[in-house]
Homo-oligomer: A and B are copies of this chain.
């Protein structure tokens, strides 16, 4: 079974997560938008690991104040907010959501997704974007958004669990 540690051992996820949450709070303040308790809770759930999380998984783990179980729109609206603020990304190939590493700037999401441990590694590789933009430009295509999701096996799993 793959370790639950999202990334190699040097990765301290508690720090990783608290930085992300702190950053999110700061950005929302700067932007004058409200990171309400519900939205924060969803963001925390998404940040619990580096594995993209489905909306219904989030729903199941949501603690509503009254102990009453939240309904889907509650989660989807929070996710919509977080997406709009660039605090999370949606992984189309998995119908799932993951915390964004660079929410301060709008950018395209590029992911390496390990089929074995489920972790998604966010890339920030301008070369890939440039290469795509170049090709698009030749064809006169104006790029608005990019979905780049690469599946395979991460170094961690490749080393530990030879296929």
Residues of A within 8 A of B (CB): 92-93, 112, 114-115, 121, 123, 125, 127-128, 131-132, 135-136, 139-155, 158-159
Q: How many whole Å from A107's CB to the nearest CB in chain B?
A: 14
Please report the C-alpha to C-alpha distance between residue A142 and residue B159 in the assembled complex, in whole angstroms. 11
Question: Which residues in B have their C-beta under 8 angstroms from that of A141?
Answer: 112, 114, 121, 150, 152-155, 158
In the complex the two chains form, what is the Cα distance from A159 to B132 in whole Å?
21
Known: A127-B131, A135-B127. A149 touches B115 (CB 8 A): no
A152 and B158 contacting across the interface, CB-CB below 8 Å: no
A sample of 9 inter-chain contacts (CB < 8 A) reads A112-B136, A121-B139, A128-B131, A140-B158, A141-B153, A142-B153, A143-B151, A143-B152, A147-B149
A140 and B151 alpha carbons, distance in the complex (Å): 13
Chain B residues near A128 (CB-CB < 8 A): 128, 131-132, 135
Chain B contacts of A140 at CB under 8 A? 154-155, 158-159
